[in-house]
A and B are shown apart, each in its own frame.
Chain A
Amino acid sequence: MPASIKVQEQFGDDVQVIFVECQGTEKNTYEAFAWKMKWMGNNAIWTNERVIPTVGRGLPEVALIGVDGTVLLQGYPGDFGKELEETLAAEVKKSKDAPAGTPATLKKAWASFAKGDLGGALAECDKVGGDDGAKARSEMVARTEARIARVERMLAAGDLAEADELVGALQKSCKPVAELAPKVAELATKLGASELAAEREAAKAWSSFSNKVAKDKPFDAGNVKKAEGIAEKHKGTKNGARAAHFVELSKINLNR
């Protein structure tokens, strides 16, 4: 198993691992390969688009992007020794603290923000005032708006369990914030709508199935048959289509 899968499973939502396939393999083929190798069933994202250019002459190569969005380390993983692990752990810690260079007067605001208390955090920013207070307020609102936009996309894609979780956290966090609370309430209403009942049922079936088979011979005949059943029962839903896609992936010859 690649070390990055272990990182994703160890740190969960605190770190985002992105796998970038660099040999021109067709998307369905590398997705099927990842399933077969039991690398799915976690939050890792898979793509063939190079988020940043590679710097080495071969694979594997890793890059660590820090909480400030800049590349901290990049190269052959074996060359870093413990440095990669230690830098990553330090960045996870930093992600729960105020951004670098934050004045001491705003540390309390960032601590509230990290705890999910956006109302308290913004009130603290306003109390501090000036350019620093306004800058921190604007960053906190921007990060929250990005999460709200993400829920909208989850909803559109049928990722209902993930959307429920994020909306739950946002409702708690944004309740006292007049500029954001109505948008979050609107999303919560959309998520609870009866029109989503069929998608919700399909999401439950797909999620339960995919989590179960991810680490246990995903493409065994029995599992593929179950996926076919989910696809048939939930035809017309996005999660039913995911089950049908899984069946198609199981047919790909990975030895070519």
Chain B
Amino acid sequence: MFHSRWRLALAPLALVGAAWLAASMPAAEGAPVDFKFREAAINAAGVQGMADLRGKPILIDFWGKN
């Protein structure tokens, strides 16, 4: 009984964790990148993710403000 309650309480957390992991997982080698922004990006002009950019080359620049 005690364990079932804990399981129920933790279920939403597990779902959130799974969703987060899925969004962070690298694309399989050679597979197209499938990514959707969780939060609206700056200057996105309607772009929500990679699906909106299909057929166009994308240059990703990883940088740091500091």
Contact = CB atoms under 8 A, between A and B. Distances in A.
Contacts of A151: 46
A46 B63 CA distance: 11
20 contacts: A2-B63, A16-B58, A20-B61, A22-B62, A25-B66, A33-B65, A40-B43, A45-B47, A47-B37, A52-B27, A61-B62, A64-B58, A68-B32, A70-B31, A88-B57, A92-B57, A95-B56, A142-B54, A143-B54, A152-B46
B46 A51 contact: no
B56 A60 contact: no
A121 B57 CA distance: 22
Contact of A18 (B27, B34, B48, B60): B60
A194 B17 CA distance: 45
B42 interface: yes
B55 interface: yes
A45 B50 contact: no
Interface of A: 2, 4, 7-8, 14-23, 25, 27, 29-31, 33-34, 40, 43-47, 49-54, 59-71, 88, 91-92, 94-95, 99, 142-143, 146, 149-154, 157, 159, 162-163
A78 B46 CA distance: 32
B42 A47 contact: yes
A23 B56 CA distance: 28
Interface of B: prevailing SS: loop
Contact of A162 (B26, B30, B42, B46): B46
B9 interface: no
Given A47-B37, A95-B55, A18 B61 contact: yes
Contacts of B30: 70
Contacts of B60: 17-18, 20, 51-52, 62-65
Given A18-B41, A63-B60, A88-B59, 20 more contacts: A15-B56, A19-B63, A22-B64, A40-B43, A49-B38, A49-B41, A50-B24, A51-B33, A51-B50, A61-B62, A62-B59, A63-B59, A65-B33, A142-B54, A143-B54, A153-B46, A154-B45, A154-B46, A159-B46, A162-B45
Given A22-B64, A69-B50, A146-B51, A7 B45 contact: no
Given A18-B58, A68-B32, A71-B27, A150 B63 contact: no
B41 A45 contact: yes
